[in-house]
Structure 1
Amino acid sequence: MRLFLFGMLCGAVASGAQTVVSLSDIYGSLQSPNFPEPYPRETEVRWNISVPEGYHIRLYFSHFDLEPSYLCEYDYVKVEADGEVLAVFCGREQTDTEQVPVQGDVITSPRTSLSVLFSSDFSNEERFTGFLAHYSAVDEDECGEKIDEDDVCDHFCHNYIGGYYCSCRFGYLLHSDNRTCRVECSDGVYVERVGAFSSADFPRPYPKSSECVYRIELDEGFNVSLTFDDTFDVEDHPDVTCPYDYVKIETGSSEFGPFCGGSSPGQIHTGSHQVVVVFHSDNSGENLGWRLTYTAQGSQCPVPEAPANGVLNPVQSEYTFRDHILVTCLPGYRLMKDEEYMDHYQLDCQRDGLWSDAVPVCQMVDCGNPREVAMAEVVFGSHDNSTHFGATMRYICKEASPLQAHVNRCGQPRRSLPSVRRKRIVGGLSADSAGLFPWQVLLSVEDASRVPQYRGFGSGALLSERWVLTAAHVLRSMRRDTSVVPLDAQHVQVSLGLHDTRDKRLATNRTVETIVLHPHFQPSNYDNDIAMVKLSEAVELSETIQPVCLPPPQSKEGPPTPFPNSLGLVAGWGISQSHPNNNNSSASASSPSPADPFMPSDLGLTSDLLQYVRLPVVSQAECEASYRSRSASYNITGNMFCAGFYEGGRDTCLGDSGGAFVVQDEASRRWAVHGLVSWGGPEECGSQRVYGVYTRVANYVAWIQSHLNADP
């Protein structure tokens, strides 16, 4: 027995009358002296148990037999931790004044240490045997604990044996305290005139321990105004102004705030073009945060007055810094600025509230003296020999000259075109030689700057030595939006006197100086589908190159021209009989299906030789009814007419976009361009009751003449 006690107390240290035993293993047992024999009298033994960080200590008794006494005054076992008594045991059975550990009861230390004290008084007459207890280290679940009423971890807590660690949601960073999650929110710079931003995760609680800086940086001349949402929730204090979290607004010369609490700051006029919004949060709290929108108002410029015969665009009720106005003139007038003529002039509203320059004036175009023509005299249309816009003049030949002969012979090819009184030409015919349609021109486009490279062609009709008439959609730049912008003139080439496209060298080729799309062209339904092309150099009229005549202007009282059932001719290289399945228009049940402005030349869908076909004009009522029966979205306007056969057929498809629909005047026997190939659909071209749609040229004679007269 003495040998056993020596083994038990080998780690013990006597402290006066008390023996202290230190236990540091992660499990073990302890027992009263002499156990299982009766314990000695007047004895005190203390066991100090310790385990590594991250663990608790579990203690339970498998045997307990001590002298009973009121409130355990004599013999007892006391369990303590961190200076606090967890339990006092004595006796054999549980009574009102004595507590005995029953089997299954477990005492757990709050931290990593536990102390057990055994004490006996001066007697043990009934020979009580004492106790046997066991302990073990158990892992601590730190994730379930609280720190100042907050969770151990801000976002995610991960427990492991002996410890724990915290992590954050995506987009957050772990603070240096290894438990709080913050955000990196100081790199936002706003340069737009209107914008919005908020605290992170708004309207959910914002991150803790964060310093957020939002910068609004606009050009000098703007003043920024901030408007906070009504929902504003930033941690505050009832007695101290914003000691925890706050929003502060700084400008170059002023500071607003700090703001906190539950009342929105509302609207703040900073009076500056550069604003810094600072948001600070500490390491506690679950407040929702804030959101604001900002706007910038620039210096206001006075509303300018348009010059006489001029136009300002855009027209607004007020203009502020960075707004601009484009000044242009009505047809027949040109802008004069610093003794120089220009097509347009831009004015900018500056930061000081003044326009960048005065509005220029519009002066009437002076065409200058007409050029001299050999063997001809000039006769002016007015008594003062005016050469300004709207004036007229004519040449009177002293004797016949080649030029005068060509000018007087518009719409008169070197040999007669096929009679329009003959029966229908099925599928179209080839023009057997050059000069049958001397006004026919080929418009070729090749734009190597686009990816993929863009190539295509269309047709037009020669009106004079410098001007060609065609459809607007042929020369409109293809864009994703509905803006109407012409193609770059340098990508367009015009071939005249062309019969066989296999050898363009035999034709007269010209580059383009100007492309003029009708100002009211509508890409959505091809209304006002007409355009003019000015050649960079005049062409010499010949037997194979001659202008076509314009029809008389459409009168308001008379019926629209061309008249229903009248016959016209259409020429082009667009469709050949060797490709009967080709279709130069595709349809949609919901929108008009205008013909493609250019047909790719590498698809094998073109004819080498010029083709032509004879078609009847369809009544306007039948034209509208045909397309209305397919979809209510088709819009046949008064600027369009239909031609073709009710039963359909491939000849309806012949002709290139922009090509002329010519009708012969019965009195003068001259051919005039009454229509331009515009669009068709919706079924495959040549289907029953699918007519081609043409631009009604008679409605645009005045517009055409304004360009011809202004720059012949």
Structure 2
Amino acid sequence: MMLRLSLPLLLLSHSAYSMLLGWVESPGYPTGYLPYSSLNWSRCAPKGHTLSIRLIHLDLEDSQDCENDAVKVYSDGNLISVLCGKREFEELQSAVNPSLVSSPGGCLSLSFYSDYSNTRRHTGFRGFYSSQDYDECESDPDNRCTQFCHNFIGGYYCSCRHGYHLDKDKHTCTVGCTEDLSGLKKGDISSPSWPASYAENAKCQHTLSVEPHLQLELHFSDVFDVEQSPDGQCIDALRIVTHTGTLGPFCGNTPPPSPFLTHSHHVQIRFTSDGFGTNKGFSLHFVTRDKVCLAEVTPHSTAAPRKSEYHQGQTVTVTCDVGYAVNTQGTLALSSEYETTCLNTGVWSPSYSCEPVNCGFPDIPVDSILQLVDSDNPQTLYEDQIEFQCTSEYYILEGDDTYTCNAKGEWESGDGETKMPKCIEVCGRPKTHPANTGRILGGKDAKLGEIPWHLLIKEPRRGGASLINDRWAVTAAHVVENVEETSLVLYGGMVDAKQTRPAFIKSSDVVVMNSEKIIIHPLYTSGIKDRTNFDNDIALIKLASRVSLGPNLLPICLPEANSGLVENEQGTISGFGMTEKFDKMVTSVMLKYAHIGVYPVSRCRDTPRTKNNRHMVYTDNMFCAGAAGKDSCHKDSGGSFVLPMLAEGREPYYLKGIVSWGPPCEDRQFKGYYTKVENYLDWIKAEIAQN
């Protein structure tokens, strides 16, 4: 409770204190002011004082909202009064002057003006201004004295009752309850004034300190009364501070458990109270006992054998929780356990922390299509999750998209897979679909994007190839036999062969691909001049770099194992080979395609003869197909036979055959022989994996 005390006033000489005072009046007062008269006046009160104006006369022209002649008074720049007309002295004293006062140490300003429209002459105004001491103790609720307030001219000061002292803020009265009890092995501590109500604004700190092998044990009395709010929050509070942290706050009517083991030889008992309340407080007795080691050696671990506490010399095995590993001197070890011994100081030695396993950033090549979602700051600790995605719409994710950091420090999918997922090319799904008619021999021209897997080989032998992923293509072996591995050039992403000419390449959409390696099937017989056997007519071409897939350049799907061929099943062939023009056979500039059917095996076995009148060899690694007026032709070799027949809505499409050999186109037998790709799936996959 704050009290105001009256002090005898000292008579100050004029040199010690000079009061601010004087008159302020309108121009020409009292004979009257002229039109267009004005006055600006301002004064400021000294510190701890206020400034007031007491008007004794007011006679101005009256007008609506004082818009003609007026006196305006401001306090610290804020308008507090607008006056005009005529006011009697009594009205000025009671209704006007009480408001013409500045804030403590503030300023008053006055402005007067008149216009031209006075019908008679008015005498104006006159006021007396003076500064007065401001009584902070009586009038200022913010003086902040918690007990006694004393006013003096220009300010105030605070004081305290007996037993209290003024805090550093010069306003708060508190008690001197800080005490160093270091060295004592037993004793008593209580709140100020115990057992009476404790003092307000208390900031007590009792320091206890004994030998390192001892710990302090606290015994609280049953009477415990520390102010608490209705919702359970501590208004006043008792805290116990040890080397491991702060225990508490404690408040209310329930004391901390006794005996209270601090497990520390250095303890601070801290008690704080606010400026209100009549609670009794607390009392405790402290003693010492030998230190013991706590059951928890380090967080996220268990100790064996298990006990509530351990004594000097006892050894335990610490095992980190699942997903945590031992950190020895800043290095996360592979081991999850270690042995430690309890010392007489109550600490375990050695003591290592158990920290979560870190799986680290997943091993993703810099140029990979595979990417992390939110890869800027991935969380990589135990049980953290990461999510994968492919950076291009022309790839799909093979495997789970979400992996979790497991206890072994490995990224693991929901299926238990620790290998990273892969981005697999979208195959056999062109963006544009051809019509159901046409033929290579003078057949229908393909539109851009209809057959995006078809690649053109111009030299040394004109032929075709099929893109099967972003680094590999497949063709007929006889197209690339005896060709230097790194000399082959393939063209894709176009349907007009003129675009592959050097003069047009830079200005066209054609994709130029160089070979890195050519792998001919080992059972294909190379170097035969008058060939009668095209068995195993298949080769792989590894491209020098990954191609950028797009709507005009996409791979074809490899067939599924044991999918087989159905007699008369309709498929589509494509190529830049020979076609009919004016009853002649010419090389096509445009990519052609035709829909043909699979012939029965019996018809395929009826093979044509060579110029030397020898039958061509037919094997189970081949099939034949054709249709009336439709067939692949010379220089279409290496191109694709795909199933199902290219038509919208029937995708994905599969590479079932590679254009291999057949009778001369001019014989018009319309029967071509194709390498059966299904028979070479294991070889293709093995070669790609090894290279």
Query: Structure 2 length as normaliser, TM-score?
Result: 0.34
Q: TM-score, normalised by structure 1?
A: 0.33
